[in-house]
Amino acid sequence: MGVETFTVEPIGWVESPLIDRDQAPKQGDEGSPEAWLVFEERVREGLRDLGAGDDVIVLTWLDRARRDTLSVHPRGDLTRPREGVFSTRSPDRPNPVGLHRVRILAVEGTRMLVRDLEALDGTPIVDVKPVLDKDTER
Amino acid sequence: MGVETFTVEPIGWVESPLIDRDQAPKQGDEGSPEAWLVFEERVREGLRDLGAGDDVIVLTWLDRARRDTLSVHPRGDLTRPREGVFSTRSPDRPNPVGLHRVRILAVEGTRMLVRDLEALDGTPIVDVKPVLDKDTER
């Protein structure tokens, strides 16, 4: 019996000086350079209430990840025992969606400058959501 | 020129008493009943380090959402002006990925009982990630 699947159509792409997975920080607040979110013109209306100073959650599709990985050494440290991927933030996982909390520094049309984004250059953007109080208050 | 797309293969499904979108809470901590995450046998290895008491982020594919919606009245309140979807948590958005912070109450093989999940019965599960300190500390 076939399992239903769903299609992600990227709404934009990341422009970043990070081009090599081995050199990228593991998390956004570990030295990520500033990066641009470059959105498709067709989603402009959806962006209209986002502005400089907003903290948002960016979802990406980590297109260079392995999808057949179910356990990893956390943070790539071979001295640590393997863990199931769903209790890690490894990019390698069945559906490699990246979750990034970033701050918007500037907006220029459909381009947004952000900080704390560890995604590689060219990474597709899946979605952007506001940070809710519950993300920070409990 | 064609845009590259990506395929989400669900790793499981939600079992919940919530069956009607109009009756579902807008956020998980607004009265969601307990629900089960029912995972595919093929991802069992990825789950092995998750247990009761863990707080995790569950990503779902909101398969009953509209993907052609770019602005909404927040929380469906027609007295509030329309907002771009990327500054709301509306399920209606180009790539309808749901983001849910839940607590695991019990694990039975590849089934996990959770609280605070507002997803409807049958909603596909895309991914599970640990809550990181940075989600709560800044």
CB contact under 8 A, A126 and B84: no
**Domains of chain B, each with CATH number or no CATH:** 12-132 (2.40.30.70)
Q: Write out the H or E segment, with its range, that includes residue A113.
A: strand A111-115
**pLDDT-derived band of residue A78, with 50, 70 and 90 as boundaries?**
very high
Q: Is B81 on the interface with A (CB under 8 A)?
A: no
In the numeric block, which tokens belong to residue B95?
């790539």
- Whether the pLDDT of residue A138 is over 50: the answer is no
Please, are residues B28 and B79 in contact by the beta-carbon 8 Å criterion? no
| Least CB–CB distance from A59: residue in B49, B97, B128 | B97
| ipTM of the predicted assembly exceeds 0.85 | yes
CB contact under 8 A, B8 and A11: no
Q: Is B57 on the interface with A (CB under 8 A)?
A: yes
Per-residue pLDDT, averaged over A84-113, amounts to 96
Burial of A114 per CB tally in 10 Å (0-12, 13-18, 19+): buried
The structure tokens 């089960």 sit at B36
Q: Is B133 on the interface with A (CB under 8 A)?
A: no
The structure tokens 């019965």 sit at B121
Of B121, B132, B114, B86, the residue nearest A46 (C-alpha) = B86
Distance CA A9, CA A3 (A): 20
Q: How far B20 CA lies from chain A's nearest CA (Å)?
A: 21
Which pTM value belongs to this model?
Answer: 0.91
Q: Using a CB-CB distance cutoff of 8 angstroms, which residues of chain A are in contact with residue B8?
A: 5-8, 95
Burial of B76 per CB tally in 10 Å (0-12, 13-18, 19+): exposed
The structure tokens 């050199």 sit at A23
Q: What is the pLDDT of residues B22-32, one digit of tens each?
A: 777 766 666 78
Burial of A76 per CB tally in 10 Å (0-12, 13-18, 19+): exposed
Per-residue pLDDT, averaged over B89-117, amounts to 96
Average pLDDT, whole number, for chain B?
A: 90
DSSP A4: P
- Whether the pLDDT of residue A29 is over 90: the answer is no
For chain B, percent of residues with pLDDT exceeding 90: 80
DSSP B81: P
Distance CA B15, CA B8 (A): 19
Instruction: Count CA atoms closer than 13 A to B136's CA, side-chain side.
Output: 10
